[in-house]
A and B are shown apart, each in its own frame.
Chain A
């Protein structure tokens, strides 16, 4: 069974810092990996989708990388802002299921 782990569970940084969130998965047979953000009590907002054949995707201040062979993905956030404060989740899709990590709660301090 696929297991998805996100470290750290929580992270606090001062505004303006660059930061990296980590996601690891145990089964490399995936179709794609997606990063989401979730505000408290809300649904998930898609940030970036990386297909299994891709190495990275970029959107604005966000950059996500994928290394299938090592079972790792990173989400890089440049020049963090207080509005980036949220829980960030990664999800990997496999043959017949979709597995989420437990998320990293990010707090950006003004």
Chain B
């Protein structure tokens, strides 16, 4: 079975541009979450989607948006890129458990998309 796949793996943008990152969860998983990891830090939560609905949002500006499609894949969009947006963007999927969207059980991560903003 394929794991979580993310694309592109690396990309370079300039300030002010827009970027779209994509994530395909493990087959059968309905929850997808996005994280930003800057060098030397732990991942920071950006969004969580469960059954195509936004269930959680971290402390990120409105320039960041996401959506989940009927096949449970997801996109993360970032507008008006800043130098500080340079990071590894990670996507995770989980099967989800009863009791709330955050009791999602084990998280499985993709290899990430490395974004460099010049």
A interface residues (Cβ-Cβ under 8 A, vs B): 4, 31-32, 34, 36, 41-46, 49, 89, 91, 93-103
Contact = CB atoms under 8 A, between A and B. Distances in A.
B107 interface: yes
Contact of A103 (B42, B44, B107, B110): B42
A89 B43 CA distance: 9
Contacts of B90: 43-44
B103 A97 contact: no
Nearest to A42: B111
Interface residues of B, number: 31
Given A31-B102, A32-B103, A44-B90, A98 B109 contact: no
Most chain A CB atoms below 10 A, which of B88, B107, B108: B107
A42 B90 CA distance: 10
Nearest to B105: A49
Contacts of B43: 44, 89, 91, 100
6 closest pairs, A vs B, by CB?
A100-B42, A31-B103, A44-B109, A43-B109, A43-B111, A93-B102
B35 to A, nearest CB: 8
B100 interface: yes
Contacts of B25: none
A90 B18 CA distance: 32
A34 B112 contact: no
A73 to B, nearest CB: 14
Contacts of A94: 102
A87 to B, nearest CB: 9
A89 B33 contact: no
B104 interface: yes
A85 to B, nearest CB: 17
Given A41-B114, A44-B43, A97 B108 contact: no
